[in-house]
Structure 1
Amino acid sequence: MWPLYWVISAVLLAFHTLFGNIFGDASGIAWVLSIIGLTLVIRAALIPLFVKQIKSSRNMQLIQPKVKELQKKYGHDRERLAQETMKLYRDSGTNPFASCLPILLQMPIFLSLFRLIDQAAKNPEQVRGLMTVELNRQFGDAVFLNAKISDTFLTTDLLSVRILAAVLVLAMTATTFLTQRQLMSKNMPPDALTGPYAQQQKLLLYVLPLAFGFGGIFFPVGVLFYWTTSNLWTMGQQFYVIRNNPAPGTPAFQAKQDRDAAKAARKGIVLDTATAEPVPEPEVRPAQRQQPKRESRQQRKNKKKK
């Protein structure tokens, strides 16, 4: 954990230098904003991983019909079914565990921040990373909205601390639930709403919020700010991706086609309903000049006599 202590404390103190000059070094708002800044830096660094997660999740949705075919074909042979399913994953470039990677990679960072806050309050003489004894005391004693950011819901008798912690736990739980529900309701085709993958998503929909809600009562207020900010980032980032680059055959894809068609109609452009590409206008050729009929010499003489 020591390398993480150095990295996290470096980013945290960089923001604290900025906000400390504005609000005061020992102020709670300076430390809370520093934690939020740390969260944004971490989430920005995880964007490439999030893109891979979205691509893998989309592939998982699109290959569900093929997975069902394999289940019908090899349902009697579990070993063969597992082999063919893994082969399908490899051929389609799909990693069924990619959706867990952002959470798994954040856990060491989360634990490091937890230990920094906890030790700053309980044992400020034990420094970690770039933190000093003075900074530990400031960090552990910082007060925001009448609550120490090192306090938890269970370790205090102050009503103000419990109210703030409860609000943050509820916000953390709600954002976790809404993010997963957003994915299932907007960016999953009907075929993907049944089968093992759908059951896994439904399990995550209810288990993850409950896990965070239960664990949140043990987290310091500062850690709750970190995780709630991270959830809000995830929800906004996912909303942007689903809105602008939805998976084919999903409600979000249909909604994007409707928006594109309405936008094109305002500009007088007609879109192909199948490809969502502009329909080329028919080529208008200039009218050909009609050539006079050829007449024989006798016909010309007769015209002159008339």
Structure 2
Amino acid sequence: MDDKRNLIIAVLLTGLILFGWPYIASTFFPTPAAVTAPAKAPASSDGATTADAALGSPAAAEKTISLTDALKASGRVRIETPKLGGSLNLEGAKIDDLLLLTHRTALAKNSPPERLFSPSGTKNAYFARFGWVGTGVTVPDDKSVWTPSASALTPATPVTLRWTNSQGHIFEIALSIDENYMISAKQRFTNTATAPVEIASFALLSRTGKPADATTGGSIFTHIHIGPMGVFDSKPNYDWGYVNVADNAGGEVKFNTTGGWLGFTDKYWLGALIPDQKVPVATKFRASGNIYQAQFIPTRYTNVAPGASTDSTARLFAGAKEMAVLNGYSKKLGIPYLDYAIDWGWFWFIAIPFFWILHWLFGLFGNFGLAIIGLTIIVRGFMFPVAQKQFASMAQMRSVQPKMKILQERWKDDKPRLQQEMMKLYKDEKVNPLAGCLPVLLQIPIFFALYKILLLSIEMRHQPFVLWLKDLSAPDPLTPVNLFGLLPFDPPTFLAIGVLPILLGVTMWLMQKLNPQPMDEVQKQVFSIMPWFLMFIMAPFAAGLQLYWVMSNLVSIAQQKWLYSRHPILKEQMAKEAEEKAREKAKAAT
């Protein structure tokens, strides 16, 4: 078995993984049934049972209003941090205006910052709200107007919102925010009346519509989960997409959990509700029309005596999925698997260490492209001992090729006998035909892990390399189809082959020239077009991934040159084969 046959196996295995995994997963790892809240307790004391009636179903606004009008419609408290800007709405105590100040919508430096949250009634409304439900008490709703203790919420100045009902009950939400993306909410209810009250606090996220690249369900190797996601009883759950929730019974999915979190994960952004990690809560994803909600509420109401008060604490993460930030919150605040909002996929155990290496290299070089090149060299260095064994196996295989050719001629009409004789030859010559396959098998999970890193890392978003490569998270924009931009038209996507994909095809072709040519004509034809086929396939991918593959090919070529010098038998055999082919061509020409 030569290197070409190994590559065929790699292609087949890759196709099996890509297209066969969904069927395997649905058969052996079916989507678990949602866990519903228990209904044993009386309705008056079961928070999960009565919360729905108080919260109501998600409802779309009667008409869409502009963002400017929405921001002027009510009083607001400014939000000012190094990474977040915007405001919170005093009507309904909604956090509904958030801008990600360190992430812009486009490459230009004057591009506006990315908007994460927008007020209710706007085109892409997305907001969070903290509130209460209870019996025998009037609770604030989404129209209640709160009184703030300050005009701005900053890391140095918390803000307390206060609302009092007609019975004299006092509701307070003490909000604080850190330097990154975490907002903490301490909710306090004080019973100033003469009768006891049963009450429970809740938190919800509501968004209108869904991202264009939202997934319909769980993720597989090359896909990413975008949509409802949570961690329930220390188990990350990617099983529910927007469509799945809408199609489920009643348009909702319920889970009971102690600890964890839930929310909506986008490719680069996350909105997540985080309850007190020691309090049992009932969580839910809901869908109604194009409105989607995530919410949690304690499974039990709290009985508050006259003159007493009760507190609860919750958090809201609203920001970019920066790995170091997410990982820091998991460790510092004890929030399980918050970094799993980044869907690393099945090969997470490879992707996460590689990410940290890439992150370290980025800090070292200050250029993400150089970091990718450095990571490529590290990966290829790690694989070098295996590559040595592969070449040794290739040398052994090529040394028996003359005997193999004799067997093929002798038993060409008896395939079973040919297989038996080939196995006997391998045994007599102490050749393992599968030894050369190991590097290919190892490269598959490494490639998919790197694919995830380069696709999902917001750290690579809008990061330049050199010259025309201004964004390594986007495809290579320079294509000869329009003479590198000199002709005033944009070619179709399938024809927009950038410089990096072309280099990928060329370097793969050079690698093939260095490798022994397959004896089988079908294999020879397949691999003659493989470099150019992959050139088109890889063209729409992120330039960072293309850069990795081109650099990997160049390192492989250098390794092959050196290894050929260590295995002269292989080089001599290749020269003999080339001479034989030349003689055959000359004979055929005459």
Q: Answer yes or no: same fold by TM over 0.5.
A: yes
1:178 lines up with 2:510 in the alignment = yes
- CA distance in 2 between partners of 1:108 and 1:142 (Å): 25
> Structure 2 counterpart of 1:236, which letter?
A
Query: Would you say the 8 A contact 1:152–1:165 is kept in 2?
Result: no
Instruction: Give the structure 2 partner of residue 241 of structure 1.
Output: 563
> Cα offset for 1:238?
0.7
- CA distance in 1 between partners of 2:518 and 2:357 (Å): 44
Instruction: Give the structure 2 partner of residue 168 of structure 1.
Output: 500
Secondary structure (helix, strand or coil) at the match of 2:515 reads: helix
Paired residues for 1:107-118 under 5 Å: 107-118=444-455
1:8 lines up with 2:354 in the alignment = yes
Query: Would you say the 8 A contact 1:180–1:204 is kept in 2?
Result: no
> Cα offset for 1:52?
1.4
- Unaligned 5+ runs, structure 2: 1-346, 577-590
Q: Deviations over 1:138-193 (max 9, x none)?
A: 32121233421000258x9x95999x971111111111111111234xxxxxxxx6
- CA distance in 2 between partners of 1:114 and 1:205 (Å): 23
Q: Deviations over 1:272-305 (max 9, x none)?
A: xxxxxxxxxxxxxxxxxxxxxxxxxxxxxxxxxx
> Cα offset for 1:14?
2.1
Query: Would you say the 8 A contact 2:451–2:545 is kept in 1?
Result: yes
Secondary structure (helix, strand or coil) at the match of 2:379 reads: helix
> Cα offset for 1:90?
3.4
- CA distance in 2 between partners of 1:48 and 1:89 (Å): 23
Instruction: Give the structure 2 partner of residue 265 of structure 1.
Output: none
1:226 lines up with 2:548 in the alignment = yes
Query: CA 1:92 to 1:238, structure 2 compared with 1: closer, same or farther past 3 Å?
Result: same
Query: TM-score normalised to the size of structure 2?
Result: 0.33
- CA distance in 2 between partners of 1:7 and 1:152 (Å): 25
> Structure 1 counterpart of 2:353, which letter?
V
Instruction: Give the structure 2 partner of residue 149 of structure 1.
Output: 472
1:59 lines up with 2:396 in the alignment = yes
Query: Larger % of helix: which?
Result: 1
> Cα offset for 1:231?
0.2
Query: Would you say the 8 A contact 2:538–2:546 is kept in 1?
Result: yes
Q: Deviations over 1:64-101 (max 9, x none)?
A: 12112222333332112112212322333434444454
> Cα offset for 1:6?
1.4
> Structure 1 counterpart of 2:463, which letter?
A
Determine which structure has greater relative contact order: mean sequence separation of CA pairs < 8 Å that are 6+ residues apart, divided by chain length.
Answer: 1
- Unaligned 5+ runs, structure 1: 21-29, 121-135, 185-192, 255-306
Instruction: Give the structure 1 partner of residue 363 of structure 2.
Output: 17
- CA distance in 2 between partners of 1:48 and 1:93 (Å): 21
Query: Would you say the 8 A contact 1:150–1:222 is kept in 2?
Result: yes
- CA distance in 2 between partners of 1:93 and 1:201 (Å): 25
- CA distance in 1 between partners of 2:429 and 2:421 (Å): 12
Instruction: Give the structure 1 partner of residue 461 of structure 2.
Output: 140
Query: Would you say the 8 A contact 1:58–1:247 is kept in 2?
Result: yes
Query: Would you say the 8 A contact 1:173–1:210 is kept in 2?
Result: yes
Query: Would you say the 8 A contact 2:518–2:524 is kept in 1?
Result: no
- CA distance in 2 between partners of 1:64 and 1:31 (Å): 45
1:85 lines up with 2:422 in the alignment = yes
Instruction: Give the structure 2 partner of residue 41 of structure 1.
Output: 378
Query: Would you say the 8 A contact 2:500–2:547 is kept in 1?
Result: yes
Instruction: Give the structure 1 partner of residue 539 of structure 2.
Output: 217
- CA distance in 2 between partners of 1:2 and 1:182 (Å): 34
Q: Deviations over 1:187-233 (max 9, x none)?
A: xxxxxx6843xx47634641331232122212210001100010001
Query: CA 1:37 to 1:80, structure 2 compared with 1: closer, same or farther past 3 Å?
Result: same
Query: CA 1:77 to 1:253, structure 2 compared with 1: closer, same or farther past 3 Å?
Result: closer
- CA distance in 1 between partners of 2:518 and 2:508 (Å): 22
> Structure 1 counterpart of 2:565, which letter?
R
Query: CA 1:104 to 1:241, structure 2 compared with 1: closer, same or farther past 3 Å?
Result: same
- CA distance in 1 between partners of 2:507 and 2:543 (Å): 17
Query: CA 1:93 to 1:49, structure 2 compared with 1: closer, same or farther past 3 Å?
Result: farther
Q: Deviations over 1:20-60 (max 9, x none)?
A: 3xxxxxxxxx1111111111111011111111111111122
- CA distance in 2 between partners of 1:220 and 1:117 (Å): 7
> Structure 2 counterpart of 1:48, which letter?
P
Give the 4+ runs in structure 1 shifted more than 4 A. Answer: 97-100, 158-162, 251-254
Q: Percent identity?
A: 32
Query: TM-score normalised to the size of structure 1?
Result: 0.61
> Structure 1 counterpart of 2:515, which letter?
L
Query: CA 1:251 to 1:61, structure 2 compared with 1: closer, same or farther past 3 Å?
Result: closer
Query: Would you say the 8 A contact 2:394–2:570 is kept in 1?
Result: no
Query: CA 1:82 to 1:34, structure 2 compared with 1: closer, same or farther past 3 Å?
Result: same
- CA distance in 1 between partners of 2:391 and 2:426 (Å): 15
Q: 2:387 aligns with which of 47, 50, 54?
A: 50
Give the length in aligned residue pairs: 218
